[in-house]
Amino acid sequence: MVTVRFEPEGKGVTVRRGATLLEAAQGAGIEIRSECGGKGTCGTCRVIVENQAKLSDMSERELRHIKPQDLRLGYRLACQTVVEGGTVVYVPRESRLGVQRIQVEGMERPVRLEPAVRKFHLALVKPTIQDVKPDLERLLDSLQRDGVDRPEIDQELLKVLPDTLREAEWDVTVTVWNNKRVISLEKGDTEGSLYGFSVDIGTSKVVGYLINLRSGDVVAVKSMENPQIAYGEDVLSRISYAMKGRENLERLGETVTEAINILIFEACQEAGVNPKSTYEVTVVGNTAMHHFFLGIQPRYLAVSPYVPALKRAVDAEASSLKITVNPHGNVHVLPVIAGFVGADAVADVLATGIHEAEELSLLMDVGTNGEVFVGNRDHIISCSCAAGPAFEGMHIKHGMKASTGAIERLKISPDTLEVEYVTIGGGKPIGICGSGIVDAVAEMFKCGIINRQGTFNRGVQIPCLRRVGDETEFIIAGSNETGTGSPITVGRKDVEEIQLAKAAMHTGAAVLMKRRGVTEDDLDRVYIAGAFGRYLNPESARFIGLIPDVPTEKIIFAGNTAISGAKMALLSREARETAQRLSKDIHYVELTIDPDFQGEFLRSLFLPYQKLEKYPRVLSYFQSRGIDVKNWNRGL
Amino acid sequence: MVTVRFEPEGKGVTVRRGATLLEAAQGAGIEIRSECGGKGTCGTCRVIVENQAKLSDMSERELRHIKPQDLRLGYRLACQTVVEGGTVVYVPRESRLGVQRIQVEGMERPVRLEPAVRKFHLALVKPTIQDVKPDLERLLDSLQRDGVDRPEIDQELLKVLPDTLREAEWDVTVTVWNNKRVISLEKGDTEGSLYGFSVDIGTSKVVGYLINLRSGDVVAVKSMENPQIAYGEDVLSRISYAMKGRENLERLGETVTEAINILIFEACQEAGVNPKSTYEVTVVGNTAMHHFFLGIQPRYLAVSPYVPALKRAVDAEASSLKITVNPHGNVHVLPVIAGFVGADAVADVLATGIHEAEELSLLMDVGTNGEVFVGNRDHIISCSCAAGPAFEGMHIKHGMKASTGAIERLKISPDTLEVEYVTIGGGKPIGICGSGIVDAVAEMFKCGIINRQGTFNRGVQIPCLRRVGDETEFIIAGSNETGTGSPITVGRKDVEEIQLAKAAMHTGAAVLMKRRGVTEDDLDRVYIAGAFGRYLNPESARFIGLIPDVPTEKIIFAGNTAISGAKMALLSREARETAQRLSKDIHYVELTIDPDFQGEFLRSLFLPYQKLEKYPRVLSYFQSRGIDVKNWNRGL
């Protein structure tokens, strides 16, 4: 038996020697397109493999479906490739079934199914003149026999209690939240219908899961752009907008509430669920999104000392927050850690489980505002890093979001300097997204086109470089290849944006490791969370020094762990309590006042880092090719 | 030293021999009018005394101010009457200061001042980049040092928390309810301003106390007619109205809410208190009023088995019940016992303290729907009695409410059969109220005008009897004396109404005593609660058999104990918990299915009761006058 690991999920599966990659993928629960049913005729099951040596040789059918440049990138057809040893397989977006769904998923830890909302079908004894126990006490006594000790009851339910009980002929189903509040009273037996909804309010995207709380199954997944974008692309511009008046703040809150309600409506419609049968919603988001959603003044998040209004989890009646599930249902907003370490980051920890492991983990959620955690079950410390939007393709000349037409992966041949790239959707490129630009910087550095300072080496004379005014640019795709008719290039300014962003992230990790008294060698796991991290090439990330130099097998791309954590909190009261504890116990390090911050940041601007001994794998790559990386310049 | 007891309060005071009744009243805290300052010249301090033997002889000045017929009723001037031994003094309404205030007061038990709402003035440390604790946690940590362990906070307060703290420069006062919810956040130190309001929603009258929760003092008392009267005079007709549609039920709720808001407004204005500084309202009322106030369907109270929607106390946000105090303040509605034993009855028990005493008590709240309790600290049982509205002057030919112009007390001279009466306000009579009609029936029975069956004796030929059609009527006030120009009379039908009413009350007491295995002789105290009981002549009540035959000193007129109990629950969390426990522990006896009910009711229709040995004091009254009460007929 051999192990195959699928990226970017990081999911491993053990299969017999001789199985195909398609079979292995099915075993790992990775859905790969296979329109011909595994006959090798449709060519839809294209995957990228790391180590061809452990696989069957390239077949005729594969050669028919894979272009020569793709062969060099490691493309294979999953249905034709037979496993002969342990290998790592990258499944690109275009080969996946249900692309939308995959984009919004993240790793998660198994939890015991124990939601905060429970249903109890009660067959009550009708009162008589000999038994005049009041309606509520009759109901509560029955609940007590089911182990629920005198919960409160919503005032509105109390009003209709007498009529409802009699109309139902004393046969009702009661929904209880957290063993302490009766939130619904339904006629007859409705125990089978118990749903919840989990939401991740991202700055760019709102993602929601509709979940059957009886089985724990996700029954619908929906996502949409965060409509707050109309009021500002990033968090700070939205806070500025909100600061201009109470109505503005309210508008931002309503906007995101409406988005969530649309997702709930669509998900319920798709799954054939009545929204009233959804009794709880769990919400995560960064601290600003959290404040907007709750209608809390966010202005003090934007000015030193960046203090949030509160840390602890909030529970509120759905109707009071205008969330259109069951009106007496509960909305649970997960706790935050600090002004720039939000409920989404708490969810990251929850979903990766770094707080439970004995092993030491580094967790990095890479984004405009990055969060970094270092620790294990004994203690975790955290910080936030102002990486800026470069990883989302912003402030990059030909940058774009990770959507159709974006170059998401690329390689530069060390010999010919020819560029091979993969675009999202497989068509002509129209720009380059975060993971593509990281690849570009790493590859340009590998090839000696740019140096450790990130500047173009003098004297390099190759066709894929061009001058635009005073600037040198590397041409990724020529005008004849692109969908726009203009070339896609990477210039000094773009490299610098990536250097600043990666230095911010790396500084966070380095300072936390120093605070924790550990080094890269002590790390057992490096989790890369967040949608961006998902399509990142770990080797490139290491080459530019975005992540510390650890063996690739220690790197786990965890995906959208924010929504995973929200889901865990929906399914499990224990997970929710853990989140509360994490928010309290995780120590927040304010990076900007750390004495090591400035020096570390300056060192981190280098590719991969000023002190090369910190990047032995990068060093050995060059050494094995006889290159002195300190003076490596293809032009000389 | 001698003891003087003032009625109807039942307040005793110990004074030196030689003190005047006016001085004694001042010592007992009973406010008697005394316009001349005790010189005996104004005649405003008229009181009625039970035992002239223990007092100074009638002075010249008194004779000048008291009419001969009033002398016979026992009137004296309080400033001129010197105490020479223990005595009981009745203070009529017209001699009181602040009549309105007195009407709404009741006895109460002292409680430790420990309201559910508390204020904490907090001087918080401003956050810095070294101390980025979130706003809420900063506030809660400070509260924890004051012993309040992580209360919840209202969602609306959370929204304004960041701005408020900074505008107040971190100097704020926080109001906490029940150690578990932050309900107010005010800038600066407002600890001195902490008020509460207690309400008794009576079927006829709504009474409210504004109370300073720092001192426990009542700072304003307000009352008004229950405006629900527009939708029905009594409880059942209002329930019928409510049953006709949800809007009707809502209208009844709104009506009483509005009445309470008027009382709050007026009380706050009188006392110079901002209604927002009122943080809690406690509410009592019978079960129907309780349901109306909470907007709960009351129809099932009106049909067998008369089951209320709930027993236990309700706590709700003031704004959710539209009560215009501090919007996040709490409304605490006291628990009920059964469909016809409401929160007002729980308050009666609380205020009389029968649940704390080792002595055995009988507590009767006399009204249209009467409540009876028998018990002590070990155990209490209760029932409700459908007495009907006769005690409120309804269904009585010349009956009226206890308001100005009503005959409230009367005596018939056993010799001359002349009637002496007292009217409320002291002017000409226009009708007769409950206490007056009870006196009339007792006196007519004493004088042999009516017999034990309540019918007019044959052969009585006296000028104060007249025939109207087939009916005999006793003329209380001739047409020349009344304010209406028509005589005020009591006929057979009126006597019968009183018989039915008193039999209902007595049956309740008798059945409960039987269930408890006790007799009249075992009773240590008989409390008469309710506005009606307040002006009742205990001797008359005993003569007609409304109350059991116990020595007068065991009878305590407790007044409006409903509002007293509501006040206790406002001042003391312990009292509130006790009320909750009482509602659970007091055993309710459904009278109508009790095997003894019917027989007991029939026996109770007699004056005072079928078995005369149960009324030895009544029997001995007649015996001492050589009268065989079984055949007593003035006409023979």
Q: What is the pLDDT of residues A266-287, one digit of tens each?
A: 999 999 999 999 999 999 999 9
Q: Are strands B406-412 and B419-423 parallel, antiparallel or unpaired?
A: antiparallel
| Chain A residue with Cα closest to B154 | A316
Could you give the CA distance from residue B324 to residue B265 in angstroms, rounded to a whole number? 8
Does residue A211 carry a pLDDT above 60?
A: yes
Residue A105: pLDDT band (50, 70, 90) is low
- Which of A131, A158, A307 comes nearest B135 by C-beta? A307
Q: Tell me how close the Cα of B348 comes to any Cα of chain A, in angstroms.
A: 21
**Cβ-based burial of A105 (10 A; exposed 0-12, middle 13-18, buried ≥19):** buried
Instruction: Identify which of B299, B306, B309 has the shortest CB distance to residue A136.
Output: B309
For the cut 90, the answer to whether the pLDDT of residue A70 exceeds it is no
Q: Is A134's CB within 8 Å of B590's CB?
A: no
Would you tell me the crossing angle of helices A343-352 and A561-571 to the nearest 10 degrees? Answer: 80
Residue in B310, B321, B590 nearest the CB of A137:
B310
Instruction: Please spell the DSSP secondary structure of A467-501, one letter per residue.
Output: EETTEEEEEEE-TTTSSSSS-EEEEHHHHHHHHHH
**d(Cα A292, Cα A325) in Å, to the nearest integer?**
20
pLDDT of residue A103: 41
Q: Do A305 and B592 touch (CB under 8 A)?
A: no
Map residue B502 onto helix, strand or coil: helix
CB contact under 8 A, A338 and B132: yes
Q: Which residues of A touch B336 (CB under 8 A)?
A: 134
Q: What is the DSSP string of B532-580?
A: HHHT--HHHHHHHTSS----GGGEEEEE-HHHHHHHHHHHBHHHHHHHH
Strand-pair partners of B477: B488
A148 touches A142 (CB < 8 A): no
User: What count of other Cβ atoms lies within 10 Å of the Cβ of residue A448?
Assistant: 20
Q: Does pLDDT of A322 surpass 50?
A: yes
B281 in reach of chain A (CB within 8 A): no
Q: Are A293 and A200 in contact (CB under 8 A)?
A: no
- pLDDT given for residue B38 in this prediction: 78
What pLDDT, on the 0 to 100 scale, is given for residue B105? 66
**Residue A296 tokens, joined:** 């809390």
Distance CA B142, CA B176 (A): 13
Residue environment code for B127-137, b if the CB has 16+ CB neighbours within 10 A, otherwise e: beeeebbbbbb
CA B549 – CA B617 distance, rounded (Å)? 7
Please tell me the number of Cα atoms within 13 Å of A416 on its side-chain side: 7
For chain B, the 3-state helix, strand and coil shares in percent, each to the nearest 5, are 35, 25, 40
Residues sharing a CB contact under 8 Å with residue B373, sequence separation 6 or more, in sequence order: B345, B348, B349, B354, B361, B362, B363, B364, B380, B381, B382, B512, B586
Tokens of A8: 């970017």
B124 shares contact with chain A (CB less than 8 Å): no
> B416 CB near a chain A CB, below 8 Å?
no
Of all residues in chain A, the percent with pLDDT exceeding 70 is 97
Residues of B in contact with A134 (CB under 8 A): 307-311, 336
Confidence of residue A102 (pLDDT cuts 50, 70, 90): very low
Q: Which residues of B touch A593 (CB under 8 A)?
A: 129-130
Under 8 Å between Cβ of A255 and A231:
yes
pLDDT-flagged residues of chain B (< 50): 98-104
- Parallel/antiparallel/unpaired status of strands B2-7 and B87-90: parallel
Tell me how far CA of residue B356 lies from CA of A96, A371, B353, in angstroms: 76, 62, 5
- DSSP letters of A175-231? EEETTTEEEEEEES--TT--EEEEEEE-SSEEEEEEEETTT--EEEEEEEE-GGGGG
| C-beta of residue A340 within 8 angstroms of C-beta of residue A371 | yes
Q: From B303, which residue of chain A is nearest by alpha-carbon distance?
A: A129
Confidence at residue B103, expressed as pLDDT on a 0 to 100 scale? 41
Facing A129 at nearest CB: one of B137, B159, B590? B590
Contacting B residues, span 577-596, partner chain A, CB-CB under 8 Å: 588, 590, 592-593
Alpha helices in A302-355 (DSSP H): 343-352
3 state SS of A459: coil
Q: N- to C-terminal Cα distance for chain A?
A: 49
CA–CA separation, B228 and A528 (whole Å):
67
Q: Which residue has the higher pLDDT, A120 or B230?
A: A120
**Cβ-Cβ contacts under 8 Å, B320 against chain A:** 155
CA distances from A275 to A191, A207, A226, B509, B627 (A): 15, 17, 21, 55, 81
pLDDT digit string, tens, across residues A457-511:
988 888 889 998 888 999 999 999 998 899 999 999 999 999 999 999 999 999 9
Whether B297 sits inside 8 A of A163 (CB atoms) is yes
CB within 8 A of A313, min separation 6: which ones? A332, A333, A334, A335, A576, A579, A580, A583
pTM across the whole model: 0.82
Tokens found for residue B78:
């309080």
Type of residue at A358: E
Half-sphere exposure of A107 (CA within 13 A, CB side): 26
Look at B308 and A134 and tell me if their CB atoms are within 8 Å: yes
Confidence (pLDDT) at A99: 36
| Amino acid B34: pLDDT | 74
Average of pLDDT values for A206-213?
A: 96
ω into residue A327 within 30 of 0, thus cis? no
Residue pair B317/B117 in contact by the 8 Å Cβ criterion: no
B208 - beta bridge partners? B199, B222
How large is the angle between the packed helices A434-446 and A492-516, nearest 10 degrees? 90
Predicted local distance difference test score (pLDDT) of residue A97: 60
Residues of B in contact with A338 (CB under 8 A): 132
Record: contact A307-B593, CB cut-off 8 A = no
Total residues belonging to chain B: 636
Contact in structure between A629 and A619 (CB atoms under 8 Å) = yes
Contact predicate B41/B55, CB 8 Å: no
- Biggest distance spanned by C-alpha atoms of chain A: 103
Angle at B229 between CA B222 and CA B103, to 5 degrees: 30
Mean of the pLDDT values across residues A530-549?
88
Over pLDDT 90: what percentage of chain A? 70
| Omega of the bond leading into B327 within 30 degrees of 0 (cis) | no
| DSSP, res B334 | P
d(CA B366, CA B390): 11
Q: What strand order describes the sheet that includes B87-90?
A: B11-15, B2-7, B87-90, B46-49, B75-77
Which residue in B125, B141, B154, B155 has the most chain A C-beta atoms within 10 A of its own C-beta, making it the best mutation to test that interface?
B155
Task: Report which secondary-structure segment, H or E, holds B222.
Answer: strand B218-225
Who has greater pLDDT, A318 or A71? Answer: A318
Cα gap B5→B87, rounded to integer Å: 6
B132/A590 Cβ within 8 A: yes
Parallel, antiparallel, or unpaired: how do β-strands B380-386 and B587-588 relate? parallel
Q: Work out the average pLDDT over A135-144.
A: 97
Q: For residue A558, what is the enclosing H or E element?
A: strand A555-559
Chain-chain contact of A310 with B135 (C-beta, under 8 angstroms) = yes
- Which one of A158, A162, A305 has the shortest CB-CB distance to B132? A305
Q: Do A308 and B134 touch (CB under 8 A)?
A: yes
- Tell me if chain B has a CB within 8 Å of the CB of A254: no
Lowest mean pLDDT among A57-71, A240-254, B286-300, B576-590: A57-71
Extract the tokens encoding A336.
């935050």
Look up residue A83 and give its DSSP letter.
Answer: B
CA atoms within 13 A on the CB side of B45: 27
Which of A299, A310, A346 to mutate to probe the B interface, most B CBs <10 Å? Answer: A310
Q: Which residues pair with B512 in a beta bridge?
A: none
Whether residues A132 and B294 touch (CB distance < 8 A) is answered with no
- Three-state SS for B211? strand
Name the band, by pLDDT with cuts 50, 70 and 90, for residue A98: very low
Quickly tell me which residue has 């962003």 as its tokens. Answer: A501
- Within 8 A of B339 by CB-CB distance, chain A residues are 132
